[in-house]
A = this chain, B = another copy of it.
Amino acid sequence: MADTSAYVPPVDDYAFLFAEAFGTDLVARATSGALSAEDAVDALSAAGELASEVLAPLNASGDREGVTVIDGQAKTPAGFPEAYRAIVEAGWITAEAPESAGGDGLPALVQAGLGEMWNAANTAFALCSALTTGAIHALDAYASDDLREQYLTRLVSGEWTGTMNLTEPQAGTDLGAIRTMATPNDDGTWAVKGQKIFITWGDHDVAENIVHLVLARTPDAPEGAKGISLFVVPKFLPDAAGNPGERNAVTTVSVEHKLGIHGSPTCVLEYEGATGFLVGELHGGLAGMFVMMNSARVGMGLQATGISDRAYQRARAYAHERMQGAVLDRPAGTPIAEHPDVRRLLLSMASEISAMRALGVYVGDLFDRATDADSLRLAELFVPIFKGWTTEEALRITSDAIQVHGGMGFIEESGAPQHYRDARIMPIYEGTTAIQSNDLIGRKVIRDGGATVGRVLGEAADAIAMLESLDHPVAARTAARLERARASAEEATAQLIAFGMTRDAYAVSVPYLMLLGFVAGGLMHARILAATLAHDAQTDADARRIREADAYGVYHLSRVAGLAEVVAAGEIA
């Protein structure tokens, strides 16, 4: 069997996105000139090298080996602790932390590239630093000076890792149902008691301490979501010198036996009067968690892009090596990549991944420039779209990657099944697609009467006009296809607003989210195409980008009108 496991970081694509597709130097703009697009590309090159040489080779072995619990301590797959040290020592945890927390504060649009590459190389492993970054954001926003000193500094340095403890058996999507209880101790600390499930990297052996962020109720708290507070509960309580000291009363009951991401310890944690520290306001816990949510959900979109690209790279490599049957109109010895249907699958995948990647940069740029309520609203509109659309589509892309392999794709040793299995959690965690779509229609579309979506559709209209002004057949076709999709999106939005916050709207919120995702992808290709056609000499990369814009229009924009029909129908009686 050919070795198709190599991972090639898409650094050139990011260089193009940073410096051409959306303007001349987004990075310089985001950093007031402190960094340039070239600096960012250098950073991505270095990270890409670590990703492909250190993390990627542990992806399949981590999947096979999985996580075990020995004497109440989770043990990660061979090589994970060393790889984590390499990430920390290269400074990547610090690089992604905000400056206010003592980090380097890389702009979100550069973090988009990092997020994609870590996840493409090794999703199960990448979750550890992703959760840590999330915890850093929450503590940076809400923690007291004392907690910042004790915990935040250790997270930012990478010495300790962080977790989010939300879910309980009866409280998944509905966090108001949380029962874990924190009772005040005499010394100002809290005794935390209860069971948390599905805790990603809830226990492990890659760092010396773990900072759990735990949602819990307090005595006499109001019912539901308004009575929930946020606590820091360390695995080891810091000693006088701030180093890991006494073991706290939180035990690892078990790790889950999951469909995928086997290298990531998904723990059941039992808090048995563990010592905790209140973060932020009493009963203000959900607000603290919501701080993490935007970046965590954007991070899911990057994860979807990464897993999709890894699966695609593997399928492409296989298709370019495998010979099978005569290929119509091609010389003998042509590999299966040129069979018309295999070529269709590869182009369908590649064109969608390019749209996802561009959208990650675009959304990062929106957040980097979100200085007022208006621009933040636009950025936040894209959070559920980016998370929901990319994670749902990653299921089809990783499935197509199996299909390209034929029978070999069903054999675990080919590597293709792992991506399919790993991807399946993405439309579920950090809020299911339905949660994303309810956030989208409720807070972001119906509430402002479609004003923010209207701005996006206006941008699409501008891009269409620009493509129409270019004398190129693919530009003309793409403009026509995007215009039909834009019109469908306009109709669907009007229909949704007419429904109001009724069951009809909620019944079609996911199809509506997907519709906007496809349109956003079309907008990305319009921008890529325009920047590409501005080049004098057409390189191979240019030719690929033009072909992908065409393919995206055919394979993906063609799905928009059907989704608009679903939206129009509301709930089936």
Which residues of the other chain, B, contact A502 by a CB distance below 8 angstroms? 328
Contact of A432 with B406 in the complex, beta carbons under 8 Å: yes
**Taking the complex as formed, is A347 at the interface, i.e. its CB lies under 8 A from any CB of chain B?**
yes
A559 within 8 A of B: yes
Cβ contact within 8 Å between A258 and B572: no
A:11-60 near B, CB below 8 Å: none
Distance between A177 CB and nearest chain B CB, rounded to angstroms: 8
Q: Is A420 at the interface (CB under 8 A from chain B)? A: yes
Q: Would you call A550 an interface residue if the criterion is a C-beta within 8 Å of the partner chain's C-beta atoms? A: yes
A549 to chain B, nearest CB (A): 10
Which residues of B sit under 8 angstroms from A341, Cβ to Cβ? Answer: 434, 437-438, 506-507, 509-510
A572 to chain B: which residues have CB within 8 Å? Answer: 344, 347, 547, 550-551, 554
What are some 24 contacts across the A-B interface (CB < 8 A)? A172-B406, A177-B325, A258-B410, A258-B417, A259-B417, A328-B502, A328-B503, A329-B503, A339-B506, A340-B507, A341-B509, A341-B510, A342-B434, A344-B571, A399-B424, A403-B432, A406-B432, A410-B425, A547-B572, A554-B565, A554-B572, A555-B566, A558-B565, A562-B562
Number of copies: 2
Chain B nearest CB, measured from A267 CB (Å): 13
Residues of B within 8 A of A412 (CB): 257-259
Known interface pairs A324-B173, A325-B173, A420-B424. Does A510 touch B409 (Cβ–Cβ under 8 Å)?
Answer: no
A162 at the interface (CB under 8 A from B): no
Flag if A554 contacts B569 (CB, 8 Å): yes
Count residues of A near B (Cβ-Cβ below 8 Å). Answer: 73
Residues in B neighbouring A174, C-beta threshold 8 A:
324-325
Q: Could you say which residues of chain B place their CB within 8 Å of the CB of A256?
A: 411
Task: State the CA gap A433–B341 with chains docked (Å).
Answer: 10
Q: Which of A406-438 contact B (CB under 8 A)?
A: 406-407, 409-413, 417, 420-421, 424-425, 427-429, 432-434, 437-438
Q: Which of A504-522 contact B (CB under 8 A)?
A: 506-510
Give chain A's interface residues, CB within 8 Å of chain B. Answer: 167, 170, 172-174, 176-177, 198, 256-260, 323-325, 328-329, 339-344, 347, 395, 399, 402-403, 406-407, 409-413, 417, 420-421, 424-425, 427-429, 432-434, 437-438, 502-503, 506-510, 547, 550-551, 554-555, 558-563, 565-566, 569, 571-573
In the complex, chain B residues whose CB is within 8 Å of the CB of A427:
403
User: Binding site of A, secondary structure by majority: helix, strand, loop or mixed?
Assistant: helix
* 10 pairs of A and B residues whose beta carbons are closest in the complex: A174-B325, A340-B507, A340-B506, A259-B417, A341-B434, A558-B565, A558-B562, A554-B569, A257-B412, A551-B572
Q: Are A413 and B340 in contact (CB under 8 A)?
A: no
Given the complex, which residues of B lie within 8 Å of A410, measured CB to CB? 258-260, 424-425, 428
